[in-house]
Amino acid sequence: MELMPEAMARSHMSERLRQAESQRLATALLLERRSRRLQRRAARASHRARRALARAVM
């Protein structure tokens, strides 16, 4: 009868690991999207600054 609780514990741990991995992937995807959005925003700001500088020099 000792094997049953051990098997249940192993199954439970396996499920918890799957949940943690799923959560990690979701978080990584969210951070990747946020990072891309911030990079685009920075690129646009840089472009605007260059244009403003070019106009000021003319």
Structure confidence by residue, pLDDT tens digits, 12-28: 999 999 999 999 999 99
Alpha carbon distance, N-terminus to C-terminus of the chain: 87
Q: Which pLDDT value is given to residue 55?
A: 94
Mean pLDDT of 38-52: 97
Mean pLDDT of the chain: 93
**Above pLDDT 70, what percent of the chain?**
95
Q: What share of the chain is helix, strand, coil (3-state, %, to 5)?
A: 95, 0, 5
Q: Which pLDDT value is given to residue 2?
A: 60
Q: Which domain holds residue 25?
A: 1-58
CA distances from 8 to 3, 11, 18, 52 (A): 9, 5, 15, 66
- Residue found by looking up tokens 């700001």 in the block: 45
Give the chain's domain count: 1
